[in-house]
Chain A
Amino acid sequence: MRRGQALIDTLRARPWGFAAVIAIALLIANVVARSSFATPSSWPATLATFAPFALAAMASTPQILSGAGNIDISIGPLLNLINIVIVAVLIPHGLGSPWVAVPIALGIGAVVGAINGVLVAGMRFQAVLATLCTLFVLEGVAQKILPNPTTGTASWLAHLGNKVGPIPGALILIVVPFLLWFALGRTAYLRTLFSVGGDDAASFSAGVNVTAVRVIAFTLGGVLAGVAGIALAAATQSGDASQAIQYTLPALAAVAIGGTSLLGGRGSLIGSVAGAAIMFLIQTLLDSLAVSDLWLQVVYGMLLLLAIVFSSMLAAPRAVKARTA
């Protein structure tokens, strides 16, 4: 009993704790529903489908952490555009080598992210509006580059979509943001980001360059969207401009389910991955149980509601305390 309480307290101390527990429970349910889910040979394909979504959720996280209601709804179209640039521009023009394509992908992400950051933090547009405009522009550019869906591949993309040596390629892509995050944790930046997200006026008074911190947060999100674009290219080896917004809102939902406060200052990358895993595993579970296509959306929506309510009830004492404080 004591130990159980200690476990719950440990989980409560970490915003992502309960999301991780629900994700693990869903993973077990998946294995029970279809034993082949646990076979290592099926992992590369499953992870390749999961990676773009998980990375989209991670790419949406730093902007939300930076506070002031900041949010980036252009991540979905951005990663779709980067996928299209790789598949339909770089590869056909002989620039498909990873040494060229990867820096270009990350560069596009960084530039678009930085523009968003300057619009929001520098020019003081509301984040929803600024990134909504970016969303319109990115969708338009994607349509211009690729009016009709196409396919294109390179050997490194095929490897990333399957295996690199013994390791599923998608796993490598998912780990990249964590390495970046860990490296930033060695600098003052992450701590400053959380302080700005928690209370921007206090941080400003303490001498923090709030604008710079926020521009960097948006740029970081853009770079991660670049990684997500590579993951999407690896998973699909095709491009389709009409798919621009498929990841936008689910990625934000994943961030919220992962315990990150949409008000900023509290949350984590691992929570976003756990949140994305919950949403992804609900879908695979429904697939395995052969739920009819018609019912799929109903059950998915209900489970999504249950997951967010359940994880917030488990974390409840914190919410009550915050309310009276």
Chain B
Amino acid sequence: MSTVGAEARADRAERPSLWVRLGAVQRRFQLFQIIALVALFEWGTWTVTDFATKQSVYSMLVTASFLGLAGAGQTIVVLVGGIDFSIPAFISLGAILMSELTGSHGWAFVPALLVIMAFALVLGAVNGYVSHRFRVPPLVVTLGMASVITGGLLVWTHGQQTGSPPTFLGRLSSVNGTTLGIGIPPVVVIWAVVAIVLGVVLRRTLAGRHVYATGSNPVAAELALVRTRRVWVGAFAASALLAALLGVLIAGYAGAGGTTLGDPYLFEGLAAVIVGGTAFGARGDYWRTVLGALVLTVLSTVLVGKGYSSADQQIIFGILILVVVAGYGRELRLRDRI
């Protein structure tokens, strides 16, 4: 009896230092997310045939690129303390404008792209401005904006989309695509570039510091001469822009535009952000969303590969996300926050 007690005491004396050290590593390198990713991948390799082939890994990377790009804008918006539910609408905007302008109206690619970027920046900025100026929840504002955009697209196309996007767009997201002769699908390279740029901008530039300052304490940020309204306008405009550009890529992948094209990214994009470990109130960065998108993609690929029905997939998906996140993504105890 007494030796067990002594052991327990020794354990308790030792454990804090280990946990503290692990916690420090976790904060810098997202150790648990990487462990979860490797574990899920190994699980797939051992239980699903042809899981780790080049073809399968590339197709996972393409899927993860779409999901990761959908989570890019959401990451910035969540960091400043908002939420953006108009991302699916902006994806549709990019996809439909690109396919209709180039496919049905005979525009060249570049002018069409510029028009899409202009629309996205302006409408996204409106999201941020209205939410901040009138102090209304961005949840409602972005829902209203999503309805306006989807409706506007329906009015413009008279409810039927007929155009198809330029064919080179499809090659960007083809699993067998090559980038400058190197055998990596271009969309994956695009994702990597976005991740590096966003990672550097958020962590190493003044604009990035303003994002974190605004998200962690808007009043203190304002007193420190951060113009929080500009930060909100910029964050929502960036989110809209990234979503619309993703829409252009998805139009190429799907071969056509459509008003429901963005819908799957509504909750899955948000899930990628949070599973990665970014939280409301300026905790996190885009690298975590990248990990989150990879974790979710590998998980759903394993579930598909094991032949579950779509209903079973959803149930297991929901439960396993919680199991994965239990390792790192939980809040502090209330008694530790006082």
Q: Which residues of A contact B (CB under 8 A)?
A: 69, 119, 123-126, 128-130, 132-137, 139-141, 143-144, 147, 200-201, 204-205, 210-211, 249-250, 252-253, 256-257, 262, 293-302, 304-305, 308-309, 312-313, 319, 323
Chain A interface helix/strand/loop/mixed = helix
Given A204-B334, A297-B150: A136 in contact with B139 (beta carbons within 8 A): no
Verify A143–B271 contact, CB threshold 8 A. no
Question: Within the complex, which residue of B144, B317, B319, B326 is in contact with A305, where a contact is CB–CB below 8 Å?
Answer: B144
Closest to B314 in A: A140
Contacting residues, chain A, for B314 (C-beta < 8 A): 136-137, 139-140, 143
Given A140-B315, A204-B334: A297 in contact with B326 (beta carbons within 8 A): no
Closest to B222 in A: A323
Contacting residues, chain B, for A250 (C-beta < 8 A): 143
Determine, out of B33-41, B128-136, B166-174, the stretch whose residues face the partner at the interface. Answer: B128-136
- In the complex, what distance in Å separates the CA atom of A129 from the CA atom of B324? 12
Task: Tell me whether B330 is interfacial, beta carbon within 8 Å.
Answer: yes
Task: Tell me whether B312 is interfacial, beta carbon within 8 Å.
Answer: yes
- In the complex, what distance in Å separates the CA atom of A251 from the CA atom of B104? 38
Verify B318–A297 contact, CB threshold 8 A. no
Q: Quick one: CB contact mask for B302-338 with A, threshold 8 Å, 1 for yes?
A: 0000000111111101110110011001111111011
Verify B267–A297 contact, CB threshold 8 A. no
Known: A137-B315, A300-B147. 6 other contacts (CB 8 A): A123-B326, A143-B314, A249-B143, A295-B155, A297-B154, A301-B148
Verify B136–A256 contact, CB threshold 8 A. yes
Given A124-B332, A300-B147, A312-B136: A294 in contact with B141 (beta carbons within 8 A): no
Verify A132–B312 contact, CB threshold 8 A. no
Given A119-B322, A126-B274, A298-B152: A305 in contact with B145 (beta carbons within 8 A): yes
CB B264 to nearest CB in A, in angstroms, measures 12
Most buried by B among A119, A143, A293: A143
Task: Tell me whether B111 is interfacial, beta carbon within 8 Å.
Answer: no
Contacting residues, chain B, for A143 (C-beta < 8 A): 310-311, 314
Q: Quick one: CB contact mask for B243-279 with A, threshold 8 Å, 1 for yes?
A: 0000000000000000000000001001100110001
Task: Tell me whether B159 is interfacial, beta carbon within 8 Å.
Answer: yes
Contacting residues, chain A, for B85 (C-beta < 8 A): 249
Question: Within the complex, which residue of A124, A294, A308, A309 is in contact with B151, where a contact is CB–CB below 8 Å?
Answer: A294
Verify B140–A308 contact, CB threshold 8 A. yes
Question: Within the complex, which residue of A135, A256, A312 is in contact with B139, where a contact is CB–CB below 8 Å?
Answer: A256
Question: Within the complex, which residue of A126, A130, A136, A309 is in contact with B315, where a contact is CB–CB below 8 Å?
Answer: A136
Verify A134–B310 contact, CB threshold 8 A. no
Task: Tell me whether B280 is interfacial, beta carbon within 8 Å.
Answer: yes
Contacting residues, chain A, for B311 (C-beta < 8 A): 140-141, 143-144, 147
Q: Quick one: CB contact mask for B191-213 with A, threshold 8 Å, 1 for yes?
A: 00000000000000000000000
Verify B337–A301 contact, CB threshold 8 A. no
Given A125-B325, A305-B141: A294 in contact with B147 (beta carbons within 8 A): no
Verify A304–B140 contact, CB threshold 8 A. yes
Which 7 A-B pairs have CB atoms at the shortest separation, nearest pair first?
A297-B151, A301-B147, A140-B314, A136-B318, A298-B151, A301-B148, A140-B315
- In the complex, what distance in Å separates the CA atom of A46 from the CA atom of B311? 34
- In the complex, what distance in Å separates the CA atom of A143 from the CA atom of B315? 10
Closest to B315 in A: A140
Verify B322–A294 contact, CB threshold 8 A. no
Verify A298–B143 contact, CB threshold 8 A. no
Task: Tell me whether B23 is interfacial, beta carbon within 8 Å.
Answer: no
Task: Tell me whether B98 is interfacial, beta carbon within 8 Å.
Answer: no
CB B260 to nearest CB in A, in angstroms, measures 12
| Contact count band on B | 35 or more
Contacting residues, chain B, for A134 (C-beta < 8 A): 318
CB A117 to nearest CB in B, in angstroms, measures 14
Verify A123–B330 contact, CB threshold 8 A. yes
Contacting residues, chain A, for B130 (C-beta < 8 A): 305, 309
- In the complex, what distance in Å separates the CA atom of A268 from the CA atom of B330? 29
- In the complex, what distance in Å separates the CA atom of A212 from the CA atom of B134? 35
Given A128-B274, A249-B85, A297-B154: A313 in contact with B134 (beta carbons within 8 A): yes
Contacting residues, chain A, for B321 (C-beta < 8 A): 129, 132-133, 136
Verify A298–B140 contact, CB threshold 8 A. no
Verify B330–A124 contact, CB threshold 8 A. yes
Contacting residues, chain B, for A299 (C-beta < 8 A): 151
CB A289 to nearest CB in B, in angstroms, measures 15
Most buried by B among A140, A210, A262, A304: A140
Verify B143–A140 contact, CB threshold 8 A. no
Verify A302–B155 contact, CB threshold 8 A. no
Contacting residues, chain A, for B150 (C-beta < 8 A): 297
CB B223 to nearest CB in A, in angstroms, measures 11
CB A215 to nearest CB in B, in angstroms, measures 13
Verify B334–A262 contact, CB threshold 8 A. no
Closest to B317 in A: A136
CB A90 to nearest CB in B, in angstroms, measures 20
- What are 23 pairs between A and B in contact, CB < 8 Å? A123-B326, A124-B331, A124-B333, A125-B329, A126-B274, A126-B329, A126-B331, A129-B271, A129-B274, A129-B322, A133-B321, A133-B322, A135-B267, A136-B315, A143-B314, A144-B309, A210-B334, A211-B334, A252-B139, A253-B139, A304-B147, A308-B140, A319-B135
- In the complex, what distance in Å separates the CA atom of A190 from the CA atom of B271? 32
Verify A301–B144 contact, CB threshold 8 A. yes
- In the complex, what distance in Å separates the CA atom of A112 from the CA atom of B144? 29
Contacting residues, chain B, for A312 (C-beta < 8 A): 134-136
Most buried by A among B135, B312, B325, B326: B135
